[in-house]
Amino acid sequence: MSDLGAHASAELTADSTAELRQETMVINMGPQHPSTHGVLRLLLELDGETVVSCEPIVGYLHTGIEKNVEYRTWQQGVAFVTRADYLSPFFNELAYCLAAEKLLGIEAPPRAQLLRVLFCEMNRIASHLVWLATSGMELGAISMMLYGFREREQILDIFEAATGLRMNHAYVRIGGVVMDLPEGSTGRVGDFLETMTGRIDEYERLLTKNPIWIQRNAGIGVLPAGDALAFGVTGPTLRASGVARDVRRDEPYAGYETFEFDVVTREGADCYARYAVRIEEMRQSLRIVEQCLERLREPGPVMVEDPKVRWPAVLEVGPDGIGNAPSYITHIMEESMEALIHHFKMVTEGISVPAGEVYVPVESPRGELGFYVVADGSNRPSKIKIRDPSFANLQAVPEMVRGGLVADTIAVIASVDPVMGGVDR
């Protein structure tokens, strides 16, 4: 009897587990999930805790930026594209303006290029800080979130002082930048440099050798270099797979060839390697910022002189914020009819850009951000296409999470650092 009973129960167990194995569960992660970094939705097929397949579903943040820009003047385009990848506004602006400048056949003056580099690198640090803060939070290192956002706030304060806004600055303009640094900015950047170096060391003391951090990241979400390239992955995610590719070094723009910095790579190809790459990239950005400060001692124009290109404005910070200087208002309103006509034409009609097409890539915090811009000779772009790095990088996520645990999916998404504003545009 007992023999028979044991046999029967063994059979039952084998049968039922076989049946259970066949059944996988499909669940939605997102779009309203705090750790999917915005409105990313993942359709996960699970076998117990193991991910069998994963399909990222995007588009929840589509705002039609590319279509909208076709209906705006060339200068207005800046204010639209800056809103695409909202964590790297300066990069969107820069790539768009470089494309327009290439079509126009002009180059921004050296000081403008310096300011562009300065703000881009500060922006890279701010963006990496958001990534570090949110990744830390998602994996249980809550203190990292507090520290990360604390330092980012310092950077945003500097941005606000110089551009009037914490995000979506529209600071980089066709032909240069909108205005020079306000009084005392370089000092503030210098102070930030001084504290930040030590702060990065503190983050590392908190995480780099932390056993839980290592357990959650090392060996997780492995993406070999070959796969990464096939999926179109760029930026820190690619460099963490051992491929030393960086647009700043490979196809320099805005004078990057004159700066000293290292292209950071790691061989791990996992979440931990991506962490290590971004931490070191922040240090490299600080190096570049330091070189910028040194060179910014030289004064100079921050916008091309050509009145047919430059934005007709002399901006100043007044008691009520940034606006046209009273002297400029007096000039166009009371002194010169020609200046008023010119101002009116430039603001309403804008500039006309010769027909042609260009593709301009820059190295954003997430990888190759490319702008394909087509001009038809009119005062509006005929077409712009934003090649956003997050869009391509997300395609590799299914490959990275397959066979892993659900909990690791969180670590993988965090390590890719997608920004849905850029993905969906």
Partner 1 sequence: MTAAQLAERVRARSSDVVVQRGEAMLVVERDELLEVLAWLRDDPELRLDFLSSVTATDRPGHEPRFWVVYELYSGEHRHRLRVKVGATEEAPRVPTVTGLFPTADWHERETYDFYGIVFDGHPNLRRILLPDDWEGFPLRKTEELGGVNTRYHGAFIPPVDRRTS
Interface with partner 1 by CB under 8 A: which residues? 58-59, 62, 64, 66-68, 70-71, 102-103, 105, 229-232, 243, 245, 250-251, 356-359, 361, 368, 370, 372, 374, 382-383, 385, 387, 391-392, 394-395, 424-425
Least distance in angstroms from the C-beta of 374 to partner 1: 6
Compare residues 139 and 386 and give the one whose CB is closer to partner 1.
386
Q: Which of 296, 73, 319 is nearest to 185 (CA)?
A: 296
Compare residues 207 and 397 and give the one whose CB is closer to partner 1.
397
Amino acid at 318: G
Compare residues 69 and 179 and give the one whose CB is closer to partner 1.
69
Compare residues 316 and 357 and give the one whose CB is closer to partner 1.
357
Amino acid at 128: H
Contact (Cβ atoms closer than 8 angstroms) between residue 175 and residue 304: yes
Compare residues 169 and 245 and give the one whose CB is closer to partner 1.
245
Least distance in angstroms from the C-beta of 66 to partner 1: 7
Please count the CA atoms within 13 angstroms of the CA of 138 that sit on its side-chain side.
23
Helices then strands, counting H and E runs in the chain, come out as 18, 10
Least distance in angstroms from the C-beta of 361 to partner 1: 7
**Cα-flanking dihedrals φ and ψ of residue 47, to 5°?**
-115, 95
Q: Which of 327, 375, 382 is nearest to 353 (CA)?
A: 375
Least distance in angstroms from the C-beta of 231 to partner 1: 5
Contact (Cβ atoms closer than 8 angstroms) between residue 404 and residue 50: yes
Compare residues 148 and 235 and give the one whose CB is closer to partner 1.
235
Task: Please measure the distance between the N-terminal and C-terminal CA atoms of the chain and give it in whole angstroms.
Answer: 70
Compare residues 166 and 380 and give the one whose CB is closer to partner 1.
380
Alpha-carbon separation of residue 185 from 98, 160, 162, 228, 293 (angstroms):
25, 11, 7, 40, 10
Compare residues 77 and 136 and give the one whose CB is closer to partner 1.
77
Least distance in angstroms from the C-beta of 132 to partner 1: 27
Least distance in angstroms from the C-beta of 383 to partner 1: 5
Contact (Cβ atoms closer than 8 angstroms) between residue 253 and residue 102: no
Least distance in angstroms from the C-beta of 332 to partner 1: 22
> Token pair of 250, please?
């490979």
User: What helix, strand, coil percent values describe the chain, rounded to 5?
Assistant: 55, 15, 35
> Token pair of 367, please?
């990888």
Least distance in angstroms from the C-beta of 20 to partner 1: 29
Q: Give the DSSP H or E segment for 128.
A: helix 110-138
